[in-house]
Amino acid sequence: MPDKPVVVIGRKFPEAVEARLARDYRPKFNPEDRVYPAAELLSLCEGADALLPCHSEHLPAEVIAKLPDTVKIIANFSVGVDHVDLAAAKGRGIAVTNTPDVLSDATAEIAMLCMLGAARRAGEGERLIRAGAWKSWSPAFMVGTQVTGKRFGVVGMGRVGQVTARRARGFDMEIHYTNRNRLDPALEAGAVYHESVEDLLPHCDVLSLHCPATPQTMNLMNAERLALLPEGAILVNTARGAIIDEAALMAALRSGRLAAAGLDVYKNEPHIEPAFFAIENIFLLPHIGSATGQTRDAMGFRALDNLDAFFAGREPRDRVA
């Protein structure tokens, strides 16, 4: 119907989400699942009422400035919103929403996978098997790090951080954390609070990053802070690649100062720094923290709930700008 809002879809969405879009809106789908160049995305937005991007669609101030006046809302299919210049959107009166809550369990699972994959050298072992290079077993073969009973540090004890801490307790790990604000004791569940990242780091046999990417957290884990971790620690990142100084991380891994790292996110993904590939003690995944059918459907429905509320004249539940 002509009165239905026109919505530009950044990427190919789950079938159930696209079915709801087709029912309630006039969507411009992306069946080829391409990353649109900025010029093409802006062209698609001509005459549109809304944009549904993922983190792969970058909307800096210069792109926001060129969006047609008809676009009134950017409903992200993501929790992180570092790909959108929120101040620029707010300045143009464009609402911005995200999709919190629904991907905490899936992302926490991937954090555990990254921890175990890094600690137990799973990437190395899998590559060895696929290359047909496993020839024998010995007590010295593929010896990694046991995480049971170790200290698990969390930077950013929000929704995902709290769920990840609960999962780590299943390995009898002692939880330490830092956060913008200390949690209520019931939410801490015995976790040890540290007022700063610098205070936290010496207490982490495993450090898991769960804070958003902001100007304040850019390169948070630099050479100086990595050096504060105990020797032989393991670093896990399922948040955003911008939080880590990748050159400093690689230097710490090469030197053996860090035992290993498990990463699901990178600074310029999907264009990963090639030097990573030559480092054996790093476990690499392609940003699949939320990649379950259940979670991706829930993310899409949450984004559409925000759209529905906005076009019904109500305040969207997850408005961030």
Topology of the domain comprising 6-102+293-311: Rossmann fold (3.40.50)
The answer to whether 206 and 233 have CB atoms below 8 angstroms apart is yes
Strand order in the sheet with 151-155: 192-193, 174-178, 151-155, 206-209, 233-237, 258-263, 282-284
One fold for both 6-102+293-311 and 104-284? yes
Structure confidence at residue 1 (pLDDT): 44
Please report, in tens digits, the pLDDT of each residue of the chain (321 residues total). 458 999 999 999 999 999 999 999 999 999 999 999 999 999 999 999 999 999 999 999 999 999 999 999 999 999 999 999 999 999 999 999 999 999 999 999 999 999 999 999 999 999 999 999 999 999 999 999 999 999 999 999 999 999 999 999 999 999 999 999 999 999 999 999 999 999 999 999 999 999 999 999 999 999 999 999 999 999 999 999 999 999 999 999 999 999 999 999 999 999 999 999 999 999 999 999 999 999 999 999 999 999 999 999 999 999 999
Catalytic residues: 240, 269, 287
Class of domain 104-284: alpha beta
Within 10 Å of residue 42's Cβ, how many Cβ atoms?
Answer: 16
CA-to-CA separations, 123 to 87, 115, 165, 174, 234, in angstroms, rounded: 41, 12, 24, 26, 15
Within 10 Å of residue 63's Cβ, how many Cβ atoms?
Answer: 18
CA distance 108 to 213: 18
Structure confidence at residue 3 (pLDDT): 87
Within 10 Å of residue 283's Cβ, how many Cβ atoms?
Answer: 25
The model carries a pTM of 0.95
Cα radius of gyration (the chain): 21
What are the structural domain ranges in the chain? 6-102+293-311, 104-284
Which residue reads 């379950």 in tokens?
292
